[in-house]
Amino acid sequence: MASGNTATFEPESAVATDHTRRDLVQLCVGYVLILIVIWTPRPWQQRTYFAAAIFIIAATWLAFPGWKAMGLRFANLARSSWIVGAALLASALSVLVAGFVHTLHAPDGPVQFFERYAGYIVFAFVQQALLQDFFLLRLLRLMRSPRSAALVAAIIFSLAHLPNPILVVVTFAWGLVACLFFLRYRNLYPLALAHAILGITIAMTIPGPVIRNMRVGLGYLTYSSHSHPSPQPLRPHRVHARVGNRGRANPAVAPPRPSVKDACQRSQHNISPVEVHGALVEMRQAEQHRRHQQRRRASQPPLHEILHPSPEEQLLRNRNERKCEEKCARKRQRMRPDRVRVQESHPEAQRNRNGRVPSELA
């Protein structure tokens, strides 16, 4: 009986040993390939990425545990939907704090939001599937305690985000919480959606130079704030298209125009140079010239004040006109008697002449 029992249980133990060995090899090879993708330069990174993707898909297909074990089902979806609500609440609070401290750089609209974060949403689902369906399921078969398996999976997930210190801490906390929720609900969809919400929130609320645009591995070390500007830089408003470059050479600065004489102030003003055919128009004007224009504008009354003066100004204007008319009338009166006397003196002189002539002849 003993020999029969031994013959019966030896194949089962051998199969379990083979499965354990296979899970350990797949776990190590898959993780090494992921690290190679993260730390490979750009020209060769695409090749390593395809190699890692093919290996992980093949390993998952060979050791396929079923859709239920992988969490790709609709069961417990309503019960676990509160995870998405908690992620939205945390995102709203983070956005408010970032807006208060002026670190928020959100997209301008839905189109820009989709263009910027659509790829990351898909990548968040892939990351969550790797964490739960590739690492956690194999660690559950290799380790006795589910919580220990969740802890090791969170550590593996966070170490893949080195050397970014912020992402290492955040991914460790989220990886541990996500693994515990997965063991409870066995549903991947709310975890992946919450992962996408939290990742986009981090990208919008933390400045790019601080988190280095969420780069990890070699990309984190080669990051440069000049070559990778922030997603939403502050820039002035664009001017009309007529002032644009229109595909021409570098913008030039027009030479100063001839001086313009001001008849009222008896001074000359040079027209300041203006940059033409540029995206921005720069007006260089001296402070003294600007103050002179302000004084000149202040000295000249508006047109409505000239056409419709106030009653006090009208009274003063009528009084001045009356004074001018009185002065002119006085001058005319003074000049009229002299003219009369001059005209009267001419006949007397003529009479004297006529009188002298006959007396001389007599």
In this structure, the answer to whether residues 79 and 203 fall within a common structural domain is yes
| Same domain for 216 and 82 | yes
Task: Quote the pLDDT of residue 11.
Answer: 59
Measured between alpha carbons, how far is 139 from 23 in angstroms, rounded to an integer? 8
In a domain, 8, yes or no: no
Please tell me the distance from the alpha carbon of residue 284 to that of residue 255, in angstroms, as a whole number.
12
| CA gap 119, 125 in Å, rounded | 10
Instruction: Compute the distance between CA of residue 205 and CA of residue 90 in angstroms, rounded to an integer.
Output: 12
> Residue with structure tokens 């922030």?
230
In whole angstroms, how far apart are CA 289 and each of 170, 243, 274, 293, 301? 58, 25, 16, 6, 20
327 and 216 share a domain?
A: no
**Domain-embedded: residue 33:** no
Residue 107 in any domain: the answer is yes
pLDDT at residue 319 in the model: 74
- pLDDT for 16 equals 72
**Of 168, 203, 170, 200, residue with least CA distance to 88:** 200
Q: Which DSSP category does 253 fall into?
A: E
Query: Which of 203, 221, 239 is at the close of a domain?
Result: 221
User: Residue 159 carries which side chain, given as an amino acid letter?
Assistant: L
DSSP 66: -
What integer pLDDT is reported at residue 202 of this predicted model? 96
The residue type at 266: R
- Single-letter amino acid, residue 295: R
Tokens 């709310």 sit on residue: 190
Residue 217: helix, strand or coil by DSSP?
coil
Task: Look at residue 292 and tell me if it is in a domain.
Answer: no
Is residue 141 a part of any domain in this protein?
yes
Whole-angstrom distance, CA of residue 210 vs CA of residue 166? 9
> Does some domain include residue 99?
yes
Using alpha carbons, list the distances in angstroms from residue 239 to 231, 235, 254, 281, 283: 22, 12, 18, 8, 14
Examine residue 196 and state whether it is found in any structural domain, yes or no.
Answer: yes
pLDDT (tens, 9 = 90+) of the chain, 362 residues, equals: 344 444 444 556 666 788 889 999 999 999 999 999 999 998 889 899 999 999 999 999 999 999 999 999 999 999 999 999 999 999 999 999 999 999 999 998 999 999 999 999 999 999 999 999 999 999 999 999 999 999 999 999 999 999 999 999 999 999 999 999 999 999 999 999 999 999 999 999 999 999 999 999 999 999 987 655 544 444 444 444 444 444 444 444 445 555 444 444 444 444 444 444 444 434 444 555 666 666 655 555 555 555 556 666 677 777 777 777 888 777 777 765 544 444 444 444 444 444 444 444 43
pLDDT given for residue 119 in this prediction: 94
Query: Cα torsion at 292, 294, 299, 302 (round to 10°)?
Result: 140
CB under 8 Å to 103, separation ≥6 — which residues? 205, 206, 207
Give the CA distances from residue 343 to residues 290, 331, 349, 353, in Å, rounded to whole numbers and listed in that order. 63, 19, 11, 16
3-state secondary structure (DSSP) of residue 357: helix
Looking at the fold, whether 76 and 207 belong to one and the same domain comes out as yes
Specify whether 106 is located in the same domain as 213.
yes
Q: For tokens 């021409």, name the residue.
A: 248
95 and 216 both lie in a single domain: yes
Where is the domain boundary, 170, 202, 221?
Answer: 221
- Split into its structural domains, the chain has a count of 2
Domain range for 187 is 65-221
Which of 161, 189, 221 lies at the terminal end of a domain, its last residue? Answer: 221
pTM score: 0.61
Task: Describe the chain by its helix, strand, coil percentages, rounded to 5.
Answer: 70, 5, 30
H/E element, 100: helix 82-100
For residue 295, what pLDDT is reported? 63
pLDDT at 206: 95
Domain assignment of residue 284, yes or no: no
Whole-Å CA distances, 43 to 54, 215, 222: 19, 17, 14
Nearest to 65 by CA among 11, 141, 123: 141
Q: At a CB cut-off of 8 Å and minimum separation 6, what does 63 contact? A: 22, 23, 26, 138
